[in-house]
Structure 1
Amino acid sequence: MSAIDKYFYDPTFPLYHYTSISALEGIASNRTVWASHIYYLNDSAELIHAREVLREMLETKILIDGAENSQNDFAICFEDWLRNLFSSKPHNIFVFSMSQEQSLLSQWRSYTPHGKGVSVAFTPSRVATIATTNEFRLGQCIYDTASHHALLGALIVELRSRFECAEPATSENYNIHFEKYVSDILQVLSLIKHKAFEEEKEWRLISSLLPDASQKIDFRQGEGAAMLVPYTKLELGNDDWIFDNVTVGPTPHEALASSALLGFLHKHKVCRAVGSGNLPFRKW
């Protein structure tokens, strides 16, 4: 087990994905969900923030350790490589987000269309199966500074321990090393979020680096910006009753919405139970 593996693990409780009624229709019919390219998400700035926290840690280490040791050379080269990490074309890392919270007002507002939202519950075993089947890693997002430093410190230690090269420890060889493990680096950075989002209690299924020409990458229309958003499909399995339950978000006709939704879910054999988010409908 590596130093960073402990940050990727399966939950012991259900996780909830907030989405629209129309998206749920597609999920139920196709038995897939979409993992979006992390660079195109609303939270994409978090990656840059995480990178800067890591760079600050490396710069501090350089100043403390001095210039006459291999660990310092490693830190200097890693900091330099990170500076250019997002300057070229985007690395293909995809995430599918879930929350520990079944019905949270900020989630309804941020991730569902007004009056047309649902949260879909996945059991712990279902989430683990999705991760394994699709070769994704599952981790809980972390929000406080101390935990950020602990995770990024573990990443530094892990990358340093993996560096084995018959050639001298040159900048070129270090860069080759960092490129080799860029997928692991981005997966770790994807777990770091600002404390302002702590109430979301987010978990993420995170892909490994997908090649540019991968047939697994599709495109959908973005929200707001004039661009397409790359995504990849996660297979949910072909067995029946793949969701634990579905919660109806704030809507003006909750009873009617719940009744029709339950009939649809039973028809497609994806979920047996529909519940209420217990939040009043308001014009947000």
Structure 2
Amino acid sequence: MCEENNLLNQWRVYGKDTVPISIEFATRGFMFVNWSPNDFDLVPMVYHASKQTEIVNNVIEGGLEYFRHHRKYILANHQSQVDFSQKFASLCIDCCSTMKHPQFEVEKEWRLAVRWPPGPRYLRGQNYRASPIGIVPYLKARPDDQNMPDRLPIKSVTIGPCAHPEIQRQTIHDILYQHNMADKEVHMSDLPIRV
């Protein structure tokens, strides 16, 4: 996901083989929804090196502080050491998984992130897809909420640079109408098509 609906970089990467569209979702709809079968949090990617360093330092300091206060208990037996190590590793993964190389900042990316529980990680609903770099794992998710059964909170659709934009606009209107979302706005990108 991305903060903006009309970035040339995103159209080139994710829409080069088809008619690209960007779907705008209501952020609140993602933040306050229970997901099935896994729980997700909506998080922004962190691109600035100084912020990344600050996050890493805070995680390490927090882990060391916890260890200093509970040293006697943690070192009491092997299982206590394993429990502390697993919880600390989970914290590191959670806090550092949002970091991306600064050169990707133009993407302004957000992700639905699965929190890493302590201990071995067994994900339900894991799937795989082919990509130019190899096999990529992904998770299917459905909103599990009485207020939003089987429907994502779509606000609008933007059609990217393409041939025959008016035909594409009518097609998107037809799709939205068939799914009882005729009230959603459809926008056209003002960026030129790359032929």
Partner residue, 2:177: 266
d(CA) in 2 for partners of 1:253, 1:158: 56
Report the structure, 1 or 2, having the larger helix content: 1
TM-score, with structure 2 as normaliser: 0.79
Q: How does 1:156-195 map to 2 (within 5 A)?
A: 156-163=60-67, 164=70, 166-168=73-75, 176-195=83-102
Partner residue, 1:215: 124
Partner residue, 1:275: 187
d(CA) in 1 for partners of 2:10, 2:152: 24
Does the CA contact (< 8 Å) of 1:167 and 1:173 recur in 2?
yes
SS of structure 1 residue aligned to 2:116: coil
d(CA) in 2 for partners of 1:145, 1:152: 11
What is the deviation of 1:223? 1.0
Partner residue, 1:200: 107
Does the CA contact (< 8 Å) of 1:142 and 1:191 recur in 2?
yes
Tell me the amino acid that sits aligned with residue 128 of structure 2: R
Off by >6 Å, runs of 4+ in structure 1: 169-172
Q: How does 1:63-82 map to 2 (within 5 A)?
A: none
TM-score, with structure 1 as normaliser: 0.56
Partner residue, 1:249: 160
Tell me the amino acid that sits aligned with residue 188 of structure 1: C
Does the CA contact (< 8 Å) of 1:220 and 1:231 recur in 2?
yes
SS of structure 1 residue aligned to 2:162: coil
What stretches of structure 2 of length at least 5 have no aligned partner? none
d(CA) in 2 for partners of 1:188, 1:268: 38
Work out the percentage of aligned pairs sharing the same amino acid: 25
Q: Indicate how the Cα distance of structure 1 residues 212 and 159 shifts in structure 2: closer, same or farther if over 3 A, else same.
A: closer
Partner residue, 1:101: 4
Q: How does 1:35-74 map to 2 (within 5 A)?
A: none
**Cα-to-partner distance string for 1:166-216 (whole Å, 9 max, x where unaligned):** 153899865542323433321211111111111211122210237655432
d(CA) in 1 for partners of 2:91, 2:10: 28
**Cα-to-partner distance string for 1:116-167 (whole Å, 9 max, x where unaligned):** 211111112112124x445212222121121111111221122233333515
What is the deviation of 1:275? 0.7
Matching of residue 224 in structure 1 with residue 136 in structure 2: no
What stretches of structure 1 of length at least 5 have no aligned partner? 1-97
Does the CA contact (< 8 Å) of 1:139 and 1:205 recur in 2?
yes
Q: Indicate how the Cα distance of structure 1 residues 230 and 105 shifts in structure 2: closer, same or farther if over 3 A, else same.
A: same
d(CA) in 2 for partners of 1:225, 1:241: 29
**Cα-to-partner distance string for 1:98-125 (whole Å, 9 max, x where unaligned):** 1111110111112234342111111121
Q: Indicate how the Cα distance of structure 1 residues 152 and 171 shifts in structure 2: closer, same or farther if over 3 A, else same.
A: farther
d(CA) in 2 for partners of 1:148, 1:173: 30
**Cα-to-partner distance string for 1:17-70 (whole Å, 9 max, x where unaligned):** xxxxxxxxxxxxxxxxxxxxxxxxxxxxxxxxxxxxxxxxxxxxxxxxxxxxxx
Partner residue, 1:17: none
SS of structure 2 residue aligned to 1:244: strand
SS of structure 1 residue aligned to 2:32: helix
Q: How does 1:91-130 map to 2 (within 5 A)?
A: 98-130=1-33
Does the CA contact (< 8 Å) of 2:55 and 2:96 recur in 1?
no
Q: Indicate how the Cα distance of structure 1 residues 179 and 239 shifts in structure 2: closer, same or farther if over 3 A, else same.
A: closer
SS of structure 2 residue aligned to 1:281: coil
Q: Indicate how the Cα distance of structure 1 residues 113 and 193 shifts in structure 2: closer, same or farther if over 3 A, else same.
A: same
What is the deviation of 1:239? 6.5
What is the deviation of 1:270? 4.4
Does the CA contact (< 8 Å) of 1:241 and 1:270 recur in 2?
no
Q: Indicate how the Cα distance of structure 1 residues 273 and 179 shifts in structure 2: closer, same or farther if over 3 A, else same.
A: same
SS of structure 2 residue aligned to 1:106: helix
Does the CA contact (< 8 Å) of 1:136 and 1:205 recur in 2?
yes
d(CA) in 2 for partners of 1:170, 1:240: 49
